[in-house]
Chain A
Amino acid sequence: MRPLWKKLLHFFSSLRLTVVLLALSIVLVFLATLDQVDIGIYGVQEKWFRSFVVVHFIGKIGFLFPGGYTLGFFLLINLVAAHATRFKLTRKKLGLFLTHFGLILLLLGEFFTGLWQEDFQMRIDEGQTKNYSESFRHNELAVIDATNPEFDRVTAIPEEIVATQRVIHHASLPFRIEVRAYYPHAAMQFAEQATSPAPSLATAGFGRRFAVTPFPPPNSDLINIPAAYIELFGPEGSLGTYLVSAMAPQPETFTYAGKTWQIGLRVQREYKPFSLHLIEVTHDVYPGSDIPKNFASLVRLRTADGSEEQEFKIYMNNPLRFGGFTFYQYQMDSANKSTVLQVVRNPSWQMPYVACTLMALGLFWQFGQSLRAFIRKRTA
């Protein structure tokens, strides 16, 4: 009778487990691919790959399935256990070691990418300069002290905090904010045009003329457009209830305590220590066709302290990398002379490169050896 830990080790290091895990991974990837038609690529990643357990329905029949994290975790355990018990590093097994070690790195890399990668977009018109990028999915309540014409002092409150409807205090604000109502997804329109709006609570600002109509949030790749009624309180009492909506083209402006303030719900911004100026966009099609030949944005990058300045042409397959960010040509509106860059920060971006190099070398070594042995046997 073997002790339990030996049995466990045997189980976790077995090739049988490898095959089962790989098969489950195939099923996972396949079902996730099909599900993409319904819930979009972002939803699929959250539901299937960046999760421990998946609850999925095919028609009316629901079932549980191990998520990407679970399978990845067990594959890691399986690999480590197999190497701890079964393999010895020899010349013959070198390829196998390299491949498996690369795979470990690859799995970890994908895990860290899920954890750390941040995606933003940056829409710039020709001639415009921007020092911030905007989130694809997240919104924020921005309270801006716009007194100084040279710069704005921004206090950004993430939408998640607004959603809790708690009282919001912030050291840089001379008033507190109370969320009276919050709608995760709502249309804003003139009050007289709205047919079934939410009750209007606005006592100040443009919100008195507008109404919001809540909708269920989209569950695909579309972004949600939140709205909220917020009341501001100074030491002397209420300063009024304002309507804020991500649909509003401009923030609400008011003065308080001798300062000019702006407040609004907007797509979350991330300010950068440098700015991009869009010099020119170009979009060509092949003559006599509507097949796009290229999209390119000529930009000038300048650091905040002016120490560095460079011109760069961003186009498909040619991104700009600077300060840990990578700027990719994402979309273009050449009619309006405007470009959208995708801005990505992924501190672990090099991991897959290292991992894949190791794996490729390992496979080459392993199969090359088999081939050599085969040829030697044939010619002998």
Chain B
Amino acid sequence: MKRFFPLFVLLFGVAYLASGLRPTKHPAGFDLDGFGRLPVLLNGRIKPADTVARTTLLMIQGRQRVSDPERSEPFVNSPIEWLLDVIYRPELADTYPTFKVDHPELLAMLGKNADNLKVNYTSTGRKIMAGLGFLPSRHSRFSYRDLTPHFDEIERQTQLASRTESKDRTSFQRAVLALRSNLVTYQRLKYSFISADSPDFFAEVSAFSENIRASAQAAADREAGRPYDADALKRAMDSLQRYEALSEFTYVRPIPSANPDNPTEWRSIGTALLDSYSVGQVPYEVLTYAALGKSWREQNADRFNEGVRVYRMLLEKTAPDFLPKTDLETRFNRAEPFYKSMNLYMLAFFLAAASWLRSPVTLGRTAFWLITLAFIASTAGFLARMWIGGYAPVTNLYSSALFVGWVAGGLCIVLESIFKNSVGSAAAGMIGFGTLLIAHHLSLSGDTLEMMRAVLDSNFWLATHVITVTAGYGATFLAGFLAIIYIFLGVFTPLLSRPIDRNAADSATIGVPKDRETTATTLTRMVYGIVCFATFFSFIGTILGGIWADQSWGRFWGWDPKENGALIIVLWNAIILHARWGGLVKQRGLMALAVFGNIVTGWSWFGTNLLEVGLHSYGFTDNGARTLAIFVIVQLAIIALALIPLHLWRSFANTNDPKSA
């Protein structure tokens, strides 16, 4: 049994990762996967409708599930089903609680108080869970219909807030602006595939289509001074006016470009309808989306699926280049490689930590296999993102978080395959979990595969400067986390004074062979090696940034906050190395310095964005600032822990002559 345990867990991990690859069947047989894969244009990128559904939900309600704590079942089974309801059955979608509001003043403005916010659970089990904090005890998401009575007040507050300069806004004003922006997005989404105010859009566009010839004739007649069909002309003018407005008020553009020279210039429904006159008929795509709406409203799965199938066949001809990417992206969305890696990393951390207490070989090997699996999964995720987006892996704060975890994970695999003491696995587990959690929170701001602004649109520099400097972050964090492991193992366990090495024996915690180095020494070598690596990469990354700046702006170094942050990391790593070489610090001092490296890197990575000045400043929230502050305090506490007298360390309590001082 013990022999097969690692294999068993590994297979479980593989099955877990693979579970998202295949689409789940819709209970009523709708081909939701097929609809989700249909390409649309949003924010300059052709992406599947599935991504639009997911990112919009993340933006407006901070999660992809559409549910209410008082209901046992979610409102819809998947984000794409929510999107279908928003665009085709808005009267239903308007009742789903999908707008997250948690600012107390804003809640009060919306007429919410402790009484009506309380979640009334019916089952006792859920009540207990809520009491323990595992389930929410207050409502924090509200439906469009809930909010409708307050639109005037929201509008008024928006006007007030937008007159204030963005950095001077209060948290209430920011919350109002965010809510209002989410409401607008939601409204625009409703008008993206059909016109939401039309009782039967399919009938409307069919009538419009039939009227094209008649009204064109009428216009020509009028021009020529002949008697003309005034009614047809008036109907056409009314429709055009409507579609003019529709073409302005839209969120996504679902119709492929009609211009072969500019294949990414996709059109909105409104624009495509306006174009109808030059073509002589309503585009087939518009009719399809209207017909799909009819089928969805009538919940007619067969007709819906047939519509999706035929439309897909058309796209194979009109937009064949985009389909492989949107298909993969849908699969990628469903597979959630980063989210699943996060869970695997967490599991690996617990297994690695447990391996120091018992069964070092079995548990240690299991943890190692799991971090390798998580690393492979996130590598695959990176490759998919690169191919879909067409950019180097790190393009924004979100992907930098993924990459920091990836670099640290890779280094840990190397460390673990050399030292085999589960330290690498534990560090990978912590950093992998932490960075992916950060990434998850950063993904709430919307699509993470953004188009790059002109100044950053250079794959060469993204692939060199950004990659190396982020690798430097990852390595500096790894050194810091290895140091944390040293401090915790030293203070709370006797393990530092012995070797842990499952190469040697299963029960390494028992015998202490004289000729083998202790875990303390091993960890010191690991931290030292990683600090060297971190110095090298931070330095190279920083100077590559200088070269990029010289190429783009004409100065090698501009003392921009982010540049300064990177410089501080290099300087800090240099301090650690010089202090070590000069004998100014021994093991314990080295560890304390390395933990402080976490603070330095945290500042450079996120803190500089809080200043809202400089070329590299890209959005960051109050929440982020709080998290960063907590992180810094925790690191300082760990440094303080490292500084307690050695005889209080369990690992060194009995040794008369500890090497570290």
> In the bound complex, do residue B554 and residue A317 qualify as a contact, i.e. CB atoms below 8 Å apart?
no
Contact present for A26 and B552 (CB under 8 Å): no
- How close is A338's CB to chain B, nearest CB, in angstroms? 17
Is A19 in contact with B266, judged by CB distance below 8 angstroms? no
Cross-chain contact B536 with A16 (CB below 8 angstroms): no
Of B173-181, B401-409, B508-516, B542-550, the segment with at least 4 beta carbons within 8 Å of chain A is B542-550
Q: Do residues B536 and A367 form an inter-chain contact, with CB atoms below 8 A?
A: yes
Q: Which residues of chain B are near A326, meaning CB under 8 Å?
A: 554
Write out the residue numbers on chain A whose beta carbons fall within 8 Å of the beta carbon of B547: 352-353, 356
Interface status of B23 (Cβ within 8 A of chain A): no
CB <8 Å contact, A370 and B532: yes
Instruction: Report yes or no: A32 in contact with B578, Cβ–Cβ below 8 A.
Output: no
Quote the shortest CB–CB distance from B437 to chain A (angstroms): 27
Q: Is A108 an interface residue (CB 8 A)?
A: no
Beta-carbon nearest neighbor of A364 in chain B: B536
Interface residues in A270-323 (C-beta closer than 8 Å to B)? 285-289, 291-295, 315-317, 319
Q: A287-B253, A288-B266, A360-B540 are in contact. Are A316 and B552 (CB under 8 A)?
A: yes
Tell me the smallest distance from the CB of A289 to a CB of chain B, in Å.
4
Complex formed: what's the CA distance from A15 to B574 in Å? 11
- Of A41-49, A137-145, A181-189, A206-214, the one touching chain B: A41-49
Question: Are B554 and A342 touching (Cβ within 8 A)?
Answer: yes
- A15-B584, A287-B265, A288-B266 known; A367+B532 contact, CB < 8 A: yes
Determine if A378 is an interface residue (Cβ-Cβ < 8 Å): yes
Out of A23, A29, A294, A378, which one reaches B564, CB within 8 Å? A29
Kindly state the separation between the CA atoms of A367 and B535 in the bound complex, as whole angstroms: 10
Within 8 A of B (CB), among A7-40: 14-16, 18-19, 22-23, 25-26, 29-30, 32-34, 36-37
Let me know if B120 is at the binding interface, CB within 8 A. Answer: no
Please tell me if B605 contacts chain A, counting CB pairs below 8 Å. Answer: no
Interface stretch, picked from B140-148, B283-291, B450-458, is B450-458
Task: List A contacts of B560 (CB < 8 A).
Answer: 41
Complex formed: what's the CA distance from A50 to B564 in Å?
A: 15
Residue of B nearest to A327 (CB): B554
A19–B578 contact, CB under 8 A? yes
Q: For chain B residues 121-147, which have a beta carbon within 8 Å of chain A?
A: none
Q: Would B554 and A294 count as touching, CB distance under 8 A?
A: no
Residues of A within 8 A of B579 (CB): 15, 19
A289 to B266, CA, bound (A): 11
- Closest chain B CB from A68 CB (angstroms): 9
Known: A19-B578, A33-B611, A288-B266. A41 touches B555 (CB 8 A): no
Interface status of B42 (Cβ within 8 A of chain A):
yes
Contact between chains at B555 and A16 (CB < 8 Å):
no
Task: Describe A's contact surface by its main secondary structure.
Answer: helix
CB pair A49–B45 under 8 Å, yes or no, is no
Q: Mark A41-79, 1 if CB is under 8 A from B, else 0.
A: 100110001000000000000000000000000000000
Which residues from chain B contact A367 at a C-beta distance below 8 Å?
532-533, 535-536
How distant is the Cα of A317 from the Cα of B453 in the complex, in angstroms? 12
For chain A, residues 310 to 346, give those with C-beta under 8 angstroms from any C-beta of chain B: 315-317, 319, 326, 328, 330, 342, 344, 346
B436 to chain A, nearest CB (A): 26
| CB neighbors of A among B512-565 (8 A) | 525, 529, 532-533, 535-536, 539-540, 543, 546-548, 550-561, 564-565
Selected from A45, A49, A119, the residue in CB contact (under 8 A) with B554 is A119
Nearest CB to that of A284 among chain B residues? B454
B418 to chain A, nearest CB (A): 7
The answer to the question of B398 belonging to the interface, with a C-beta cut-off of 8 Å to chain A, is no
Q: If the complex has contacts A16-B584, A37-B611, A360-B539, are A292 and B43 also in contact, measured as CB distance less than 8 A?
A: no
Please indicate the chain B residues that have their CB under 8 angstroms from the CB of A378 in the complex.
Answer: 418
Contact B561–A33 (Cβ < 8 Å): yes
Query: Is A344 touching B559 in the complex (CB atoms < 8 A)?
Result: no
| Complex CA–CA separation, A287 to B252 (angstroms) | 11
- Which positions 581-616 of chain B face chain A at CB distance < 8 Å? 581-582, 584, 600, 603, 608, 611-614
Q: Nearest residue in B to A68 (C-beta to C-beta)? A: B559
With contacts A288-B44, A363-B535, A367-B532 taken as known, whether A295 is within 8 angstroms of B568 at the C-beta atoms is no
With A and B bound together, what is the CA distance between A10 and B603 in angstroms? 35
Query: Contacts of B559 on A, CB cut-off 8 Å?
Result: 32-33, 36, 41, 44-45, 49
- In angstroms, Cα B454 to Cα A19, docked, is 40
When the two chains form their complex, are residues B564 and A287 in contact, meaning their CB atoms are under 8 A apart?
no
Does B41 touch A at the CB level, under 8 Å?
yes
Is A374 an interface residue, CB under 8 A from the partner? yes
In whole angstroms, what is the CA distance A23 to B575 when docked?
7
- Is A255 located at the chain interface by the 8 A CB criterion? no
Known: A15-B584, A26-B571, A286-B451. A374 touches B543 (CB 8 A): no
A 342-370 binary contact with B (CB < 8 Å = 1; else 0): 10101001001100100110011001001
Beta-carbon contact of B614 and A41 below 8 Å: yes
CA distance A113 to B556 in the complex (A): 9
In Å, the complex CA distance between A295 and B455 comes to 9
Query: Nearest-CB distance from A71 to chain B (Å)?
Result: 11
Q: Is residue A231 contacting chain B, with contact meaning CB distance below 8 A?
A: no
Min distance, Cβ A232 to any Cβ of chain B, angstroms: 39
A316 adjacent to B554 (CB under 8 Å): no
Indicate whether A286 sits within 8 Å of B554 (C-beta atoms), given known contacts A16-B582, A29-B568: no
- How far, in Å, is B3 (CB) from chain A's closest CB? 27
Q: In the bound complex, what is the Cα–Cα distance between A359 and B544 (angstroms)?
A: 12
Contact A352 B556 (CB under 8 A): yes
**A110 interface residue per 8 A CB criterion:** yes
CA distance A106 to B612 in the complex (A): 29
B603 (CB) vs chain A CBs: closest residue:
A30
List residues of A whose CB falls within 8 A of some B CB: 14-16, 18-19, 22-23, 25-26, 29-30, 32-34, 36-37, 41, 44-45, 49, 109-110, 113, 117, 119, 285-289, 291-295, 315-317, 319, 326, 328, 330, 342, 344, 346, 349, 352-353, 356, 359-360, 363-364, 367, 370-371, 374, 378
14 example contacts (A-B, Cβ-Cβ < 8 A) are as follows A15-B582, A22-B571, A33-B611, A36-B613, A44-B559, A286-B45, A288-B41, A288-B42, A288-B43, A317-B455, A326-B554, A352-B543, A363-B539, A371-B529
- In the complex, besides A317-B461, A330-B553, 18 extra interface pairs with C-beta distance below 8 angstroms are A15-B578, A15-B579, A16-B582, A18-B578, A30-B568, A33-B565, A49-B559, A119-B555, A286-B45, A287-B265, A289-B43, A291-B43, A291-B450, A292-B453, A293-B451, A328-B554, A360-B543, A370-B529
